[in-house]
């Protein structure tokens, strides 16, 4: 079989559509570069803003750069160059800022300069889900915003897109949401739970799922076999959305595993998870870091517990206590910080204050060398006192799915 014929048989539907729709002005018949070569070149653009500018070149370029084959390829490359993401409310809106993440791992760098991405009207909730493949979703807006109906939003800081989600069907007053991504089906899904809050009877119910980019957005009811109360501590790893919850029957904390593709639940119960715990991606495995019963750490904290699930099916895990270096007390001092997470593929942990200050610092710990440094973040503006959310491993996504 010829190489050309093999290539034809293995081409994806998106790539086939791309080739067919791009021959006028971009394809092999136009006298310019072949389409697949153009995609390969343009997928190496350094940032989402560069893609946005390239869309203005011509109608054909606009069509090419909106095609799923290109946007998925760009997302794959973007995942190899993750970014820091900061967001807070000020002057009547949510503000988003970002910078390359590699600078915090550079031993010679104690400074991060961010760029402004977008602003969102602040009538949306004061909390957001952990970003997943470039998108964010708001949490429990109904309770925080005092609205009469539960309406969340999805936003893409890379493209500036914001979209309200349909009203959640609920007979309850509190709504908690999580965002997950299925890398096989290449789909984003929002998991929503309404909360029954009574004395000694707090639990999630009315589990609903919404799939983005599938025509008219609509919530679908799903089932969950274990009654539990969820916490806003989550992470999505390879199509599995993990979050911490309390088992209503045993009253012990556990980890809920939601398979985004199959829309099914499973549970990790045989380890006593202390709250608060920050879930992390430790080189592809689910892990967690817990420092104390308090929500924050300061210079007085001397250690934290670090654990990793070695087998999510057998529920085997390993853990150890990490002793913080002497410089921790001096650098952090009285600043109240929380554990943001771990830089993907490394053993580097990042801590951030809860409140915005000027100057604003984050703290970077290399666990292998037990070395801590303070990094100044510039470009957030003159604001002070606002609650600020810091995220690691954010990737730029140019897919206009909304």
| Confidence class for position 126, pLDDT limits 50, 70, 90 | low
Q: How many helices (H) and strands (E) does the chain have?
A: 8, 24
* pLDDT tens-digit readout, 52-106: 788 878 888 888 877 778 878 888 887 888 899 998 887 777 888 998 887 676 6
* pLDDT tens-digit readout, 189-219: 999 988 876 655 678 888 999 999 877 889 9
HSE-CB at 351 with a 13 A cutoff on CA atoms is: 27
Q: Which residues face 195 on adjacent strands?
A: 174, 204
* pLDDT tens-digit readout, 251-284: 888 899 999 999 999 999 877 666 678 999 998 8
- Dihedral sign for Cα atoms in the order 195, 391, 163, 184: negative
Q: Which residues face 295 on adjacent strands?
A: none
Query: How much is the pLDDT for 27?
Result: 44
* pLDDT tens-digit readout, 331-387: 999 999 999 999 988 889 999 999 999 899 999 999 999 999 999 999 998 888 888
Query: How much is the pLDDT for 76?
Result: 82
> CB within 8 A of 301, min separation 6: which ones?
291, 292, 324, 328
d(CA 341, CA 320): 17
- Angle between helix axes 68-79 and 13-21 (nearest 10 degrees) is 120
* pLDDT tens-digit readout, 293-306: 677 899 999 999 99
Length of the chain: 402
d(CA 181, CA 137): 12
d(CA 309, CA 288): 9
Mean pLDDT of 149-167: 80
| Confidence class for position 6, pLDDT limits 50, 70, 90 | very low
Cβ atoms within 10 Å, residue 214: 12
d(CA 294, CA 18): 53
d(CA 44, CA 165): 32
Instruction: Name which of 144-153, 232-241, 266-275 the model is least confident about.
Output: 144-153
Burial of 319 (0-12, 13-18, 19+ CB in 10 A): middle
Please provide the average confidence, as pLDDT, over all residues in the chain.
Answer: 81
Query: How much is the pLDDT for 22?
Result: 45
Residue 269, sorted as left (phi over 0), alpha (psi -120 to 50) or beta, turns out to be: alpha
Query: How much is the pLDDT for 123?
Result: 58
d(CA 347, CA 358): 29
Tell me if residue 143 falls in helix, strand or coil. helix
User: Which domains does the chain possess?
Assistant: 3-76 (no CATH), 81-394 (2.120.10.80)
Cβ atoms within 10 Å, residue 285: 15
Of 322, 333, 326, the residue nearest 361 (C-alpha): 333
Of 279, 230, 277, 236, the residue nearest 258 (C-alpha): 236
Query: How much is the pLDDT for 14?
Result: 52
Cβ atoms within 10 Å, residue 109: 13
């Amino acid at each position: 079989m010829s190489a050309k014929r093999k290539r034809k048989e293995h081409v994806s539907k998106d790539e086939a559509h791309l080739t067919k729709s791009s021959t006028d002005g971009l394809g092999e018949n136009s006298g310019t570069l072949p389409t697949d070569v153009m995609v390969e070149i343009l997928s190496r653009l350094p940032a989402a803003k560069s893609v946005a500018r390239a869309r203005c070149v011509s109608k054909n370029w606009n069509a090419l750069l909106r095609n799923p084959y290109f946007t998925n390829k760009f997302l794959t490359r973007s995942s190899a160059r993750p970014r820091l993401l900061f967001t807070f409310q000020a002057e009547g809106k949510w503000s988003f800022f970002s910078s390359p993440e590699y600078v915090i791992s550079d031993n010679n760098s104690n400074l991060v300069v961010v760029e402004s991405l977008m602003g969102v009207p602040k009538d949306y909730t004061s909390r957001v889900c952990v970003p997943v493949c470039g998108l964010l979703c708001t949490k429990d807006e109904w309770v925080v915003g005092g609205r009469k109906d539960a309406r969340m939003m999805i936003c893409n800081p890379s493209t500036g897109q914001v979209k309200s989600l349909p009203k959640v069907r609920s007979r309850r007053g509190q709504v908690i949401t999580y965002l997950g991504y299925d890398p096989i089906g290449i789909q984003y899904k929002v998991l929503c739970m309404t909360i029954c809050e009574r004395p000694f009877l707090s639990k999630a119910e009315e589990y609903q799922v919404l799939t983005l980019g599938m025509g008219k957005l609509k919530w679908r009811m799903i089932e969950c076999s274990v009654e539990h109360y969820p916490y806003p501590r989550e992470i999505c790893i390879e199509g599995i959305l993990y979050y911490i919850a309390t088992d209503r029957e045993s009253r012990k904390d556990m980890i809920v595993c939601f398979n985004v593709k199959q829309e099914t639940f499973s549970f990790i119960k045989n380890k006593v998870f202390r709250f608060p715990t920050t879930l992390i991606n430790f080189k592809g495995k689910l892990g967690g870091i817990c420092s104390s019963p308090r929500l924050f750490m300061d210079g007085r904290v001397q250690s934290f517990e670090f654990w990793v699930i070695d087998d999510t099916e057998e529920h085997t895990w390993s853990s150890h206590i990490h002793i913080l270096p002497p410089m921790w007390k001096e650098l952090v001092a009285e600043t109240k910080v929380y554990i943001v997470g771990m830089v993907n593929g490394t053993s580097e942990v990042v801590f951030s204050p809860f409140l915005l200050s000027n100057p604003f610092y984050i703290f970077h710990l290399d666990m292998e060398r037990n070395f801590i440094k303070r990094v100044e973040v510039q470009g957030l503006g003159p604001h002070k006192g606002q609650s600020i959310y810091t995220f690691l491993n954010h990737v730029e996504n140019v897919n206009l799915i909304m």
